[in-house]
Structure 1
Amino acid sequence: METQRIMEIPHRSIDKRPRKRPRLTWDMPPPPPPIPPPLPCKVLPASNRSQEVGNGIVPNHVYSSSMFYRGTSRNGSPPWRPDDKDGHYVFAVGENLTPRYRILGKMGEGSIQDSGTFGQVLECFDNEKKEVVAIKIVRSLIKYREAAMTEIDVLMRLAKHDVSGSRCVQIRNWFDYRNHICITLILFLISAVMHDLCLIHTDLKPENILLVSSEFIKVPDYKFLSRTTKDGSYFKNLPKTSSIKLIDFGSTTFEHQDHSYVVSTRHYRAPEVILGLGWNYPCDLWSVGCILVELCTGEALFQTHENLEHLAMMERVLGPLPPQMVVRADRRAEKYFRRGARLGWPDSSTSRESMRAVWKLPRLPNLIMQHVDHSAGDLIDLLQGLLRYEPVERLRAREALRHPFFLPGDPKRYGYSL
């Protein structure tokens, strides 16, 4: 029987040996697992056991997996299974995640068992509220459990200041199930609200910005109207609404916390991070600039996986790095430059493929003009403000939101070819 306990199940070390993936079908009942002996438990602080969010209570429910009856758990919960070798929760579509939630499938790209760094997000039906929700199931490793508690704290702070839920994804509740922190979220543009709360997201990218609605409309794609096709024209799907939600606060950092050396997913990483100059709120705005270019062109602006090449791409698109930034670069970044603060690219190890990847990039205004018509001046000006090298010179969130590009007007004046 799945019982509720107001304590945290102690972390157990995970077997790192290769193992066969557990079967996910119900063709035969699995044998009951051995009941582990009681271990010292770390009790969560009282403040974490029940948290108020919006108009409701967000409790911490801890579900134990150590009590069974002849191999089948009671209350509709699935039989106990070990986590996979990376600490991910192993599930089957159609079974329950605690008696309250029924698993409908996995959200995101990849097969049903593909998982991300911090865990996986499942689409579930809430048997109590009679609605579909998203549940983020964090890996059972201790460092990810601790990071999840920080994310919960961030989501609660955001919920208190974003009562309407118009800006960021909102938390419904959270619970600890079989040693996995689970965060229940409402199923679905960063604004200044996070920075007002002294929060830095540090991992802004298209994958963390979701459309609120999946509805779309078909419109002619004028790029292909001149071509002869079977139906006479090409169409493209456009979202019916542009409303979006910001998600995944697992890497969010408070301003007063110690900052790690490297943050952000590579393609959206600001130059001050690469140069080891420290980072703060402006690193989020650099990421926003990269995202806007990607939405415009359909491709990541800096498609690279190496620091020197990344800096070379920046210089190709945005011009030379400021000498004052190069002089301040830390020892780990000094190797990227020659005397005179000149970027040491290409070097003896640079491949022809790398050189082609850099030299094919146009300057930022030319890149935008390839996808936007002659009225793209506001967009180019906005991007140049977001992608300034010096963090102190970069547009702030509120300044960017007041930019003419976002002011109400005729949407046709930008002529997007998305």
Structure 2
Amino acid sequence: MEMQKMVECLQRGVDTRPRKRPRLTWDVPAPAPHPPLPKVIPTVYCGQEFMNGLLPNYPYSSIYCKGVPRNISPPWRSDDKDGHYVFAIGENLTPRYRILSKMGEGTFGQVLECLDHERKEIVAIKVVRSIHKYREAAMIEIDVLQKLLRHDVGGRRCVQIRNWFDYRNHICIVFEKLGPSLYDFLRKNSYRSFPIDLVREFGRQLLESVAFMHDLRLIHTDLKPENILLVSSESIKIPDFKFLSRSMKDGSYFKNLPKSSAIKLIDFGSTTFEHQDHSYVVSTRHYRAPEVILGLGWNYPCDLWSVGCILVELCSGEALFQTHENLEHLAMMERVLGPLPQHMIIRADRRAEKYFKRSARLGWPDSSTSRESMRAVWKLPRLQNLIMQLVDNSAGDLIDLLQGLLRYDPGERLKARDALRHPFFTRDLRRVGYHL
């Protein structure tokens, strides 16, 4: 859908504190132009002990180069000191898969871009570290992925598992290859926000995916822009009117937008079945619900809190709660959303009692609070004011939706299917998608 009303967000004060670290995943941009290739792919050993993850990327044409054995397993090598698989670009991961590049790395292991010789397609393979707890977690993730695959007709909501196998003590999970994550797209676009119509499309698809998982009694527990991938890597440049009046250096007066709004959820390593025991802490810090911080237990509503935080970030370009400490996090919540409910404070777990005074009020700032922390909290506006700064049309509907998603009490928080019926998504029934 053509974008006719493009209104950029008003600039806010620049936060000089370190931004959240991007979590590497298998999202990559469209392949960049490369110099002429050699006839044979060079052997580049990959692992923390060799190249520290700095790897050359080869375009897909390199998979047809001659001189590299196709159906021969590589020689046995010891894993690196952290249990990561050590590999070489161009060699096989089992005779079926040929390694083209390293796409990312995380606590779980590495993600490799590979050619599937059998299906003649490019895939992403998650190679899990050869450590017992990560192997166990991988088997749980495979169980979740297979359940999603059985019920996700057409594969529109979640990344699809193609295959899995155990190779040299590493669980390997084969996925379809997707485009960049929303976080990666923002980062490479200098954290410039998405237009509101595109945010609406992302939000609708995200809530549909969450509702789908909740219907299957699954809780994702780690929703964030890093775990939402665009299906396509294609993008288009448009004028960025906020920069047109400034110096025209390095093309800063243009910004990129994805050509298609289609997205899928990934990373089900922390996904929990409703009947399973729930760990004490879930979610990445910036998207963590208050009931988790307060030790009140959590369930499906923790995913909806994360969705609310994500929608604000897509509108602004930066995380709503940029913090790394519980007390400061709670103070930021109160600054944006108002005081925490007394009934939640009274029921707080012993580990969270220290955040409150005897009067059942948040004990912030305390003697250890830095000036930097105080500035970070005080600069935050109320939710309504923040959205009015960022959004022109649809601001009222978006504020009302976010107030439902970011309710402190999880019992009062909007459910995914109720959120999908909100006027922010339904008011203009002519909206059929976002395509350029």
The TM-score with structure 2 as length reference comes to 0.75
> Which residue matches 2:166?
176
Question: Structure 2 CA distance, aligned partners of 1:232 and 1:136?
Answer: 36
| Gaps in structure 2 of 5+ consecutive residues | 1-46, 53-68, 179-205, 432-436
Which residue of 210, 215, 219 corresponds with 1:196? 215
Query: Taking structure 1 as reference, are residues 261 and 230 closer, same or farther at Cα in structure 2, changes over 3 Å only?
Result: closer
Tell me whether 1:395 sits opposite 2:414 in the alignment. yes
Question: Structure 2 CA distance, aligned partners of 1:324 and 1:177?
Answer: 51
Residue 80 of structure 2 aligns with an amino acid whose one-letter code is D
Name the larger-Rg structure: 1
Query: Taking structure 1 as reference, are residues 163 and 372 closer, same or farther at Cα in structure 2, changes over 3 Å only?
Result: same
User: Contact conserved, 1:106 with 1:123, CA < 8 A, in 2?
Assistant: yes
Question: Structure 2 CA distance, aligned partners of 1:239 and 1:20?
Answer: 33
When the two chains are superposed, the root-mean-square deviation of aligned CA atoms in Å is: 2.3
Query: Taking structure 1 as reference, are residues 243 and 91 closer, same or farther at Cα in structure 2, changes over 3 Å only?
Result: same
Residue 259 of structure 2 aligns with an amino acid whose one-letter code is K
SS of 1:229 mapped into structure 2: coil
Which residue of 310, 316, 319 corresponds with 1:291? 310
Cα offset, 1:81, TM superposition: 1.4
> Which residue matches 1:240?
259
User: Contact conserved, 2:71 with 2:92, CA < 8 A, in 1?
Assistant: no
SS of 1:125 mapped into structure 2: strand
Residue 120 of structure 2 aligns with an amino acid whose one-letter code is K
Which residue of 106, 115, 120 corresponds with 1:116? 106
Which residue of 27, 33, 49 corresponds with 1:21? 49
> Which residue matches 1:112?
none
Question: Structure 2 CA distance, aligned partners of 1:276 and 1:98?
Answer: 45
Query: Taking structure 1 as reference, are residues 359 and 410 closer, same or farther at Cα in structure 2, changes over 3 Å only?
Result: farther
Deviations 1:115-166 (A, max 9, x none): 2111121111111111001111111111111111110110111111102101
Which sits farther off after the overlay, 344-353 or 221-230? Answer: 221-230
Residue 124 of structure 2 aligns with an amino acid whose one-letter code is A
**1:252-331 correspondence to structure 2 within 5 Å:** 252-331=271-350
Question: Structure 1 CA distance, aligned partners of 2:48 and 2:257?
Answer: 43
Which residue of 125, 128, 131 corresponds with 2:118? 128
Residue 338 of structure 1 aligns with an amino acid whose one-letter code is K
> Which residue matches 1:46?
none
| Gaps in structure 1 of 5+ consecutive residues | 1-18, 25-72, 109-114, 413-418
User: Contact conserved, 2:108 with 2:129, CA < 8 A, in 1?
Assistant: yes
**How many pairs were matched up?**
341
> Which residue matches 1:96?
92
Question: Structure 1 CA distance, aligned partners of 2:119 and 2:159?
Answer: 18
Cα offset, 1:229, TM superposition: 2.9
Residue 185 of structure 1 aligns with an amino acid whose one-letter code is F
Residue 219 of structure 2 aligns with an amino acid whose one-letter code is I
Tell me whether 1:208 sits opposite 2:227 in the alignment. yes
Question: Structure 2 CA distance, aligned partners of 1:376 and 1:384?
Answer: 12
> Which residue matches 1:105?
101
Query: Taking structure 1 as reference, are residues 340 and 23 closer, same or farther at Cα in structure 2, changes over 3 Å only?
Result: closer
Tell me whether 1:383 sits opposite 2:402 in the alignment. yes
Which residue of 143, 166, 185 corresponds with 2:133? 143
Query: Taking structure 1 as reference, are residues 138 and 375 closer, same or farther at Cα in structure 2, changes over 3 Å only?
Result: same
Question: Structure 1 CA distance, aligned partners of 2:166 and 2:155?
Answer: 25
SS of 2:245 mapped into structure 1: coil
> Which residue matches 1:163?
153
Residue 83 of structure 1 aligns with an amino acid whose one-letter code is D
**Percent same amino acid among aligned pairs?**
82
User: Contact conserved, 1:220 with 1:233, CA < 8 A, in 2?
Assistant: no
Deviations 1:320-351 (A, max 9, x none): 00000000001100000002210000000111
Deviations 1:286-311 (A, max 9, x none): 11111111111111111111110110
Tell me whether 1:342 sits opposite 2:361 in the alignment. yes
Cα offset, 1:353, TM superposition: 0.8
Question: Structure 2 CA distance, aligned partners of 1:410 and 1:196?
Answer: 25
Residue 299 of structure 1 aligns with an amino acid whose one-letter code is E
SS of 2:99 mapped into structure 1: strand
Residue 173 of structure 2 aligns with an amino acid whose one-letter code is I
